[in-house]
Every structure is written in structure tokens, then in C-alpha cells.
Structure 1
Amino acid sequence: MIFSIDPGSEKTGIAVLRDAGDLITKKIIPTESLTECLAETYTALPFSRIVMGNGTNHRHLRPVVEQWIAGRMEPIAFSLVDEKFTTVEGRRLYFKYTPRHGWRRFVPLSLQYPPEPVDDFVAWIIGLRYIRQQGGNL
């Protein structure tokens, strides 16, 4: 399994994917709780790889992740993934998986922004990008 991170300064998106790209879980957490989230998620869903977007705030969170990995007995690989245009893709994915209600149903998607953050969807996209880079068929 893959633990995917969309690093941010105040909030961070995380997603856990199977190696084939199937989403297991995703959520948005406060950035300062990343270490606790890694530990809790690993206990429930042991993953063998962590991937992180190379955009906003990765320079601050990379050492946090590497320190957490260093404290593990099990080997966990770490990779950075190009994060270019993932926010735009995250918005599209949000509308694909989140039904629109009320007036939003009548306004073209090209004119709408999601009413909530999409960092969790972006983390999912970062994980999918990693799988594609490794030659996975998605």
C-alpha cells in the first residue's frame, strides 16, 4: 500500500492507495499532526511506501516523514512526485466523486470551485501519479 501526501503549510491532504491505485481512505489533517497520522494509519493499514508532492511545504515536511521512517523497524520507501497542476486535477476529481446539489447542478463545472478544500483528492492524484511513473496501468 501507498501513503500519499499533499503537503501544505496549515492543512495536509493524505490518501492511502492500494498498489493498483484503488483508494482506501483519504482525509485532510492539520499539518502539525502528520506524524501522529502516519503512526495511526500505519497501525490500521500497514503501507510500504510514502509518496509526497514536491510542491508547497514539502521542504518542511520531508524531514518529518524521513524521521518517522527512520524510527521504524520495517523498511518503508519514500519518493517525491511532481505536483504540477494537481490542484486543478483535484477539483475535477472532487466534482466527479461529490454530487452537486441545489443551484450547483445548473452551473457549468468550468465556472465552479469546490465549496471545500480538495487536498485529500490531490493526495490521491499524487499517489496515482507515482503508480503511473512506476509503469502501473491505470
Structure 2
Amino acid sequence: MDEPMELYLGVDPGRDKTGAALVWENGRIFKQEILPTDDFSRHLQQFLPEQPLAGCILGDGTTSKTMAAQLEKDFPQLPLFTVNEYGSTQEAKKLYWQLHPPKGWKRLLPTALLDAPSAVDGLAAVVLVQRYLRDKTIK
């Protein structure tokens, strides 16, 4: 029988909106969403699954210190890891196009020239977890 996989929470904090993602330890996305930064913990409660999480991966950019303090206060049992979020939005845009390949004439253009039709903060949170998992297996 397969061993159950661990689930990680990714948080890409921003001033007005924060990306949140749940990612399996193999890097596959369970779900991702963009939540309001105001009262983030309350919104996060509704986003989280019933099962326990292996850890929270937090981007080190905008409002990171404030978000870390809030997460440590509201979820003290959840291990918190901070990762460098430099370039995560660009990576999230690439991931968007992998998950939703362009159609019609847009498929003829390099995806780097295309704008994702929606905000990618949730996918940026996915990228942060995937970076953490990749770095964790390298060490």
C-alpha cells in the first residue's frame, strides 16, 4: 500500500492579496487560491484541508515579517519555513501556461510574450513550495 504523502501550505504574501497553495510533497498541486491579506488567518481557515500539514512555506518578500508573525500566532503547531521569492511571479506565469496551454493563434507565440489572463499569486505560492521541496531534496 502506498504511504500517505505530506501536504505543504505555500504563502506568497502581498499588501492587498496573498497567494495560498496546498502542494503535495511530490510537487503536485492540491489547490491554490488568492486570499485577501486583511484577516488572512480567517480566510486561510476556510482554505485549509482537514488533514494536518507538514509545514508552511512563506515567501520572503513584501509583508513577509508581518505574515510570519501572524501565522506563528494563529497556527503555532505548523512549522514555518521562509524561502527566497525572487522571480517567483515569472515562474508562476510559466506554470500557468503549462497548466493552461494557449489556444488558437496564441499558441504560435512564445509564452514569455503572453500575459496570464488572471493573477498568478496562488501559483506563485505553488512555486515557493516547489522550490522548498527541491532544495530540501538537494541537501
Q: TM-score, normalized by length of structure 2?
A: 0.85
* 1:8 and 2:14 are equivalent in the alignment: yes
Is the 2:13–2:19 contact (alpha carbons within 8 Å) kept by the matching residues of 1? yes
Q: Choose which of 103, 122, 125 in structure 1 pairs with 2:124.
A: 122
Structure 2 CA distance for partners of 1:69 and 1:36, relative to 1, 3 Å: same
- Cα RMSD for the two superposed structures: 2.0
Is the 2:20–2:34 contact (alpha carbons within 8 Å) kept by the matching residues of 1? yes
Gaps of 5+ in 2: 1-6
Amino acid corresponding to residue 136 of structure 2 in structure 1: Q
Match of 1:77 in 2: 79
SS of residue paired to 1:104: helix
Deviation at 1:42, TM superposition (A): 3.7
Deviation at 1:121, TM superposition (A): 0.9
Is the 2:96–2:123 contact (alpha carbons within 8 Å) kept by the matching residues of 1? yes
Amino acid corresponding to residue 89 of structure 2 in structure 1: T
What do residues 15-41 of structure 1 show as CA deviations (whole Å, max 9, x unaligned)?
Answer: 101222221111111111420233234
Gaps of 5+ in 1: none
Give the distance between the partners of 2:22 and 2:100, measured in 1 at CA: 19
Q: Choose which of 109, 125, 135 in structure 2 pairs with 1:133.
A: 135
Q: Choose which of 64, 86, 97 in structure 1 pairs with 2:70.
A: 64
Q: TM-score, normalized by length of structure 1?
A: 0.85
Deviation at 1:100, TM superposition (A): 2.2
Single out whichever of 84-93 and 33-42 deviates more from structure 2.
33-42
Match of 1:23 in 2: 29
Identity %: 27
How many residues are treated as equivalent by the alignment?
A: 133
